[in-house]
Amino acid sequence: MIRTCEGCGASNRVPAARLAEAGRCGRCKAALPPLAAPVDVPDVTTFDEIIAGAAVPVLVDFWATWCPPCRMVAPEVKRVAAELAGRVVVLKVDTELLPQLAMSHRVQGIPHFIVFHRGRPVRTQSGAVSHAELRRWIEAVPVAAPAQPPA
């Protein structure tokens, strides 16, 4: 995924496994903080890369611009991304632009949320929910134990 440095405007390629981590701009060395806002998914390939590679849970919001409940819940989704920066990656999938992605995840109503962990869905729900409920779903995902060095 490409992240833009707020300091110099440089484009920085960040692997999916590092999206929730702080980093540095390759050009100016300014801090690149962990993602603190939802990411609009541009295509299926990007979605698949992030879901498969993320080191933290991924909250996906399937939505559409014409959907009033989707617009109503958008600030709640943004709030969760900001509050849990570094502990979650939040994706937004526009079902009008990527209908095949919505169909492959059996989205029948929107807004529709899926929490992925280690590439697999662990929570799915349709309908508007509060940021507190979204946060509970993410916090319920078990934290991976650190890798043990070989003996």
Other C-beta atoms within 10 Å of 48: how many?
Answer: 15
User: Do residues 11 and 4 touch, judged by C-beta distance below 8 A?
Assistant: yes
CA atoms of 51 and 142, how far apart (whole Å): 16
Q: Which of 5, 8, 25, 70 is catalytic?
A: 70
- Report angle CA 53, 120, 96 to the nearest 5 degrees: 85
Token code pair at residue 65: 């611009």
DSSP 3-state of 70: helix
End-to-end CA gap in the chain:
36
Tell me which of 8, 25, 28, 67 is the catalytic residue.
67
Q: Is 5 a catalytic residue?
A: no
Distances in whole angstroms, Cα of residue 47 to Cα of each of 82, 91, 99, 145: 20, 8, 13, 25
Strands 58-63 and 89-94, by their bridges, are parallel
Among this protein's residues, is 8 annotated catalytic? Answer: no
Which positions are annotated as active-site residues?
Answer: 67, 70
